[in-house]
Structure formats: C-alpha cells, structure tokens
Amino acid sequence: MVTQDKSTQDNLIVKAIRHPFSVAILILSIVILIVWSDQRATSKKDMPEPTTGSAQNDIKLSPPTLANSGRDVPKIVQQMGGNTGQAGSGSAPGLESLIGGLEAKVKADPDNLGNRILLAQTYNQLGLTEKAMKELRAVQVLDPKNIQANLVLGSLLSESEKEKDLKESLSILDNIDVTDDRQKYLIEMHKGDAYSGLKQKAKALTHWKTALSLMPESDGRYAMLQKRIQSASTK
C-alpha cells in the first residue's frame, strides 16, 4: 500500500511538472509552505506556556492553502498562469509578500541550493529575470554541474535578444549531463529558441522537431511547439 501511494504521488508530480501553469502553482505552494513553516516555528518559540484553564486562549495555526493563504491567491494563480515575462513589481502581490521569507531563508543558509533555485524560479514567475539569473549564477559557482540550475539559466538566456546571451545559453545547454527524457526535450526546445534568436532558422527547426519527437502530448508545451514549428516552416 505504501509503495502504491508513493507511486501515485510520483505520477502526480510528473504530470504537474509537464504543465507550465501547474509549475507556477507548485512554486507558489512551495514558497507558501516554506514561509509558513518558519512563521509557525517562530510562533511556537515565542508562545507562552499555557496555564490551567487557558487552553481556550491558545493560538492555533492552520497550514496554508490556496483558500486561506490570502484573499489575493486566486488572482495570483491566474496572473502567474498568464505571465508573459513582462510582469513588473505588481504582477503577483501575494507572492511578492511571501518572497521576502524565502529571501531570508536563502540569506541565512546560502549553501541550501534547493532554496536558491526555488527563489530564482519565483523571481522568474514575477518577471524579475535579472534577479533570477543572478541567483542561478550564484548556484553555478557553488555547484557548476547542477542540472536544474543550468537548465533554468539556459532557458532564460535562450529568450534573450542579446547575441552574447544566446550563445551562452547554447554553451550551458550543451554541457548539461542529461539524466531523463524530460530534460532531453527541454534542452532541445531551448536550443531551438536560442538558434531562433540567432536567426539560424534551419538549426532552430532541427532542435524543435527533435524536442517534439521526445515530448509527450500531455506536456503543456506540445501544442505551442507544434505551432512554432509550423510557423517557422512556412516562412
């Protein structure tokens, strides 16, 4: 039963990762949980010992959910799902208020690379690309072979309009030690994006088509990539 439950959870995580909108919600949820955990620990430490007859006055904390983590949460999720990368400081007010807690955790424990990558991804969801890349480069210094950090950084650079950034994206993506099929098709897709930015349409199409051949149709990017290939092929 335990094995079956774990398998079900793993399948749900894989399905969520394959959809960009779900990734945004997942990042939001993780940030909320991390910040809430810190607040709960602080509240417990500062809470006075209960005395006889005072149980009714004890403070009770509830885990954060999309329903109780703030009245702006539904708006946040909607805005994150439609983020085009141009969002400014007002794109997701609820997430911005939570990001301070995550920044504090990173400052307190800079060697926790998982939190640093999560912070970079959160910055990216808010449209703070420069901050995201700065955090990812810091992770690179600590762990040059970190697959997740390099994949995210390579993807961000592949969207740049600067030739230098596009070439760096290709260099980073070429040197990632691929461990699964999902990483393979994401790398191919971002390489295609970089070559497209460099105006090398033939190479872009080659990588996009390879990515599409590896990508499951259930991935939220599948239809988008199909249209991109079709559009580039007819020009």
**Span 185-198, pLDDT tens digits:** 999 999 999 999 99
- Domain residues for 207? 144-235
**Span 90-110, pLDDT tens digits:** 444 466 667 888 999 999 999
Whether residues 159 and 137 fall in one domain = no
Give the burial string for 49-88 (b: 16+ CB within 10 Å, else e). eeeeeeeeeeeeeeebeeeebbeebeebbebbeebeeebe
Residue 51's pLDDT is what?
Answer: 39
**Span 104-133, pLDDT tens digits:** 999 999 999 999 999 999 999 889 999 999
Instruction: Look at the chain and report how many structural domains it folds into.
Output: 2
Q: Quick one: CA dihedral 215, 219, 220, 223, positive or negative?
A: positive
Whether residues 232 and 161 fall in one domain = yes
**Of 87, 115, 143, at which residue does a domain stop?**
143
**Of 89, 110, 143, at which residue does a domain stop?**
143
Cα(232)–Cα(235) distance, rounded to whole angstroms?
Answer: 5
Residue 95's pLDDT is what?
Answer: 66
**pTM for this entry:** 0.64
Whether residue 150 is predicted with pLDDT greater than 50 in this model: the reply is yes
Whether residue 143 is predicted with pLDDT greater than 90 in this model: the reply is yes
Residue 235's pLDDT is what?
Answer: 75
Average pLDDT of every residue of the chain: 74
Neighbours of 89 (CB within 10 A): 10
**Of 90, 119, 143, at which residue does a domain stop?**
143
Whether residues 139 and 162 fall in one domain = no
Q: Nearest Cα to 197, choosing from 179, 173, 215, 222?
A: 173
Whether residues 112 and 95 fall in one domain = yes
Residue 13's pLDDT is what?
Answer: 46
Whether residues 188 and 77 fall in one domain = no
Whether residues 221 and 178 fall in one domain = yes
CATH number of the domain encompassing residue 174: 1.25.40
Whether residues 136 and 229 fall in one domain = no
Token duo for residue 147: 């697959």
For 187, residues 6+ apart whose C-beta sits below 8 A from its C-beta are: 151, 154, 173, 176, 178
Cα(156)–Cα(126) distance, rounded to whole angstroms?
Answer: 13
Whether residues 130 and 234 fall in one domain = no
Whether residue 214 is predicted with pLDDT greater than 70 in this model: the reply is yes
Residue 188's pLDDT is what?
Answer: 97
Whether residues 151 and 135 fall in one domain = no
Whether residue 160 is predicted with pLDDT greater than 80 in this model: the reply is yes
- Asked if residue 160 is part of any domain, the answer here is yes
Q: Nearest Cα to 218, choosing from 187, 182, 192, 180?
A: 182
Residue 68's pLDDT is what?
Answer: 29
